[in-house]
Amino acid sequence: MFTTLTDDTYQNTIADTDDGILICFKKQCPHCKNMEKVLEKFSRKNEGISFFALDSEENPTALADLGAERAPTLVFIKNGAIATTKAGLMNPKELKAFYQAL
Amino acid sequence: MTFSRDKIKNVVFIMLDTLQFNYLGCYGNKVVKTPNLDRFARQSVLFENAYSEGLPTIPVRRALMTGRFTLPYGGWQPLSGDDTTITDIMWGRDMQTALVYDTAPMRLAKFGYSRGFDYVDFCPGQELDHTTFEYHPLDPALKPIDYTSPSMVYDGDGNFIDDDSKQLLDEIGCFLRQQQHRRSDTDSYVAKVASRTEYWLKDRRDKSRPFFLWVDSFDPHEPWDPPSVWEGTPCPYDPDYDGNPIMLAPWTPVEGRISERECEHIRALYMEKITMVDKWIGKVIDSIRQEGLWDETMVVIMSDHGQPMGEGEHGHGIMRKSRPWPYEELVHVPLMMHIPGIEGNQRIKSFVQNVDVTATIMDVLGLADTEDGISDHGMKTYGAEDFQGESLLPLMQGEVDKVRDFAIAGYYGMSWSIITEEYSYIHWLVDESEKNSADCVEGSEKEMSEEMWTCTAGAKVQMPEHNELYDRREDPFQLNNIAKDKPEVAEELLQQLKLFIGELRTS
């Protein structure tokens, strides 16, 4: 369900997205795996939102540009621009509330 | 009788604060006499490896009431509007709810732990409510210093050793102001809770409706004031002691303050208090049977934690919960359940945690699959959709061997630990100096930092130097730290712990 983004593609994809969430992850990071599960649950209840994933360690340009030094960092996209980013964990209820408050 | 949810109408949940698991006959203690709880154990299912996750008193209540782990979320805090408790879920259903308690932390201002109970009976005076008696005049024959060891209070020159000395005498004074009216053990705290519970069961409840009754007895928590202290007789578990009775000791490490002999005597008074608690809770169990409720009522008896009372396996060098240390004597708790139709006299080895008790209660009542909703008058109703525990019914029916491969315990913001069959591991969230100076509720003020829930690019797992690893089979009471001998095991357990707490944080 996650479209993979890279240093080459992330900027255009964000510009083309009305409503999306990007997770910047590290391969070995256990917290990232937990956060992906939360996003999966969220996606089932929110059709119409696009989901993306970017490997922070392999894409240093994106990492620096998006301020994603810590993993997981979520990047919330609205109307082709970054609305906000959030590092750390959230549970489904918290994600729902956070998203609705944007 | 076979198990059938239709036959079970009621639940009685009995919480006995500070009843250490290895101070019961049914958990192997050969000295302390607990005939009523031992009998209950023979008639019910006893869990050998139940562990409280977030400590102390309040996080345990919160986990039990919400069915959710507290360690990833918060410590000593009120129930919030976002929490959904079992009584919130019972609202709007045919269930009367009652709470009879003297556990004063539950009654703290704005804490809200009596929320959702139709009938609430708070019995005053235990610790944190003791100061409400501060200004009652005290019988001049009763002097606080006679109820503790002077050497715990005064130095060689006759001055207070520190502020803990004054606090100790003030605290004892408050208990004396209440207990000066005591004439027999019928006036003890647990006796009052038990009698008021029996009143509700026999006279007050609506006998035509199912019920959920929560009995929360603070005894056998200190003060260590069993009958011998009031009768001026030798403590039956330590009759040769010739010092003052020790109703309370200061909230400090024992070194240089409380002697080993004094610690031993405190433990004896604690045992005598447990025998008294056993007697009075025995009467509550008998009432359930006398009312004809035994075959239609689930009964749970458990504790929230043990109590550090000395060196080594008795408390790792501290007295009372003066430090946020999650050792075995504190976090391993007794848990027994009678469920009509489930075979009694069983001993179960699987790890279980507080949240599983809640999940089981909900499963037995047929409320496990409920969801939040709206009533036909537009009012919100609540379900168990956010529960994190596992029902223990399949385990108790022999359908599965275990529900958890490990247990976790800790103090929010201060310490996390993971307990497996082979090992136990303690991960400190604070440095060594804070570990040795903080009190047991300080962690509640801490914001879990972003570092806790994220990794930096290229960062390796950071393992604090002072983390502890123990061989659980050889050293269940955690006296010999082998973290330096088995660093790879320590690292693996730390990863497992972090992953699990992260899972809880994201659900």
- B256 and B321 in a single domain? The answer is yes
Report if residue B152 sits inside a domain. Answer: no
Domain A3-100, CATH 3.40.30.10 — does that match?
yes
Cβ contact (<8 Å) for A89 and B505? yes
CA B485 – CA B162 distance, rounded (Å): 40
Q: What is the pLDDT of residue A55?
A: 95
CATH number of the structural domain spanning residue B384: 3.40.720.10
**Residue in B390, B293, B281 with CA at minimum distance from that of residue B19:** B281
**Could you report the average pLDDT of every consecutive run of 10 residues in chain A (102 residues)?**
94 95 90 93 93 94 91 95 94 94 92
Distances (CA, A) of B253 to A19, B55, B170, B390, B440: 57, 19, 19, 37, 13
Is B503 an 8 Å CB contact of chain A? Answer: yes
Is A44 an 8 Å CB contact of chain B? Answer: no
Residue B437 tokens, joined: 């100076």
Q: What is the pLDDT of residue A29?
A: 84
CA B174 – CA B186 distance, rounded (Å): 19
Cβ contact (<8 Å) for B457 and A71? yes
Report if residue B462 sits inside a domain. Answer: yes
Is B447 an 8 Å CB contact of chain A? Answer: no
Mutation site, B388, B456, B506, B507, interface A, largest A CB count within 10 A: B506
Is B502 an 8 Å CB contact of chain A? Answer: yes
Closest-approach residue (CA) in chain A for B386:
A93
Q: Which of B341, B370, B396 is the last residue of a domain?
A: B396
> What residues in B contact A57, CB-CB < 8 Å?
457-458
Contact between A57 and A89 (Cβ < 8 Å): no
Q: Which of B345, B366, B396 is the last residue of a domain?
A: B396
Q: Which of B350, B376, B396 is the last residue of a domain?
A: B396
- B383 and B469 in a single domain? The answer is no
Closest-approach residue (CA) in chain A for B82:
A93
Residue B146 tokens, joined: 């006679």
Would you give per-residue pLDDT tens digits along chain B (507 residues)? 899 999 999 999 999 999 999 999 999 999 999 999 999 999 999 999 999 999 999 999 999 999 999 999 999 999 999 999 999 999 999 999 999 999 999 999 999 999 999 999 999 999 999 999 999 999 999 999 999 999 999 999 999 999 999 999 999 999 999 999 999 999 999 999 999 999 999 999 999 999 999 999 999 999 999 999 999 999 999 999 999 999 999 999 999 999 999 999 999 999 999 999 999 999 999 999 999 999 999 999 999 999 999 999 999 999 999 899 999 999 999 999 999 999 999 999 999 999 999 999 999 999 999 999 999 999 999 999 999 999 999 999 999 999 999 999 999 999 999 999 999 999 999 999 999 998 888 788 787 777 778 877 555 667 788 999 999 999 999 999 999 999 999 999 999 999 999 999 999
- B375 and B440 in a single domain? The answer is no
Q: What is the pLDDT of residue A25?
A: 94
**Residue in B447, B374, B380 with CA at minimum distance from that of residue B75:** B447
Report if residue B383 sits inside a domain. Answer: yes
CA B165 – CA B144 distance, rounded (Å): 11
Query: Model confidence over B381-437: pLDDT tens digits?
Result: 999 999 999 999 999 999 999 999 999 999 999 999 999 999 999 999 999 999 999
What's the gap in Å between the CA of B452 and the closest CA on chain A?
A: 8
- Strand pairing class (B373-374; B380-381): antiparallel
Report if residue B56 sits inside a domain. Answer: yes
Rg for chain B, CA atoms, rounded: 23
Report if residue B180 sits inside a domain. Answer: no
Report if residue B77 sits inside a domain. Answer: yes
Closest-approach residue (CA) in chain B for A56:
B457
Q: Is B390 left (phi over 0), alpha (psi -120 to 50) or beta?
A: beta
Report if residue B402 sits inside a domain. Answer: no
SS3 percent helix, strand, coil of chain A, rounded to 5, is 35, 30, 30
- B306 and B446 in a single domain? The answer is no
Q: What is the pLDDT of residue B463?
A: 79
Q: What is the pLDDT of residue A30?
A: 81
Which SS3 state, helix, strand or coil, does residue B259 take? coil
Query: Model confidence over B430-476: pLDDT tens digits?
Result: 999 999 998 888 788 787 777 778 877 555 667 788 999 999 999 99
Q: What is the pLDDT of residue B447?
A: 79
- Taking only residues 73 to 102 of chain A, the set having a beta carbon closer than 8 angstroms to any beta carbon of chain B reads 73, 87-93
- B314 and B415 in a single domain? The answer is no
- B370 and B488 in a single domain? The answer is no
Contact between B455 and A29 (Cβ < 8 Å): yes
Mutation site, A40, A57, A91, interface B, largest B CB count within 10 A: A91
ipTM for the predicted complex: 0.90
Closest-approach residue (CA) in chain A for B501:
A31
Among A70, A91, A92, the residue with its CB nearest the CB of B455 is: A70
What's the pTM value of the predicted model, to 2 decimals? 0.95
- B227 and B321 in a single domain? The answer is yes
Phi, psi dihedral angles at B313 (to 5 degrees): -70, -10
The tally of domains found in chain B comes to 2
Contact between B427 and B441 (Cβ < 8 Å): no
Q: What are the residue ranges of helices labelled H in B380-482?
A: 393-396, 432-435, 450-453
Q: What is the pLDDT of residue B448?
A: 78
CA B15 – CA B302 distance, rounded (Å): 5
- B387 and B436 in a single domain? The answer is no
Distances (CA, A) of B155 to B165, B166, B437: 10, 12, 22
- Which residue range(s) make up the domain with B459? 407-505
CATH number of the structural domain spanning residue B416: 3.30.1120.10
> What residues in B contact A89, CB-CB < 8 Å?
453, 502, 505-506
Report if residue B263 sits inside a domain. Answer: yes
Closest-approach residue (CA) in chain B for A91:
B506
Q: What is the pLDDT of residue B1?
A: 83
- B414 and B354 in a single domain? The answer is no
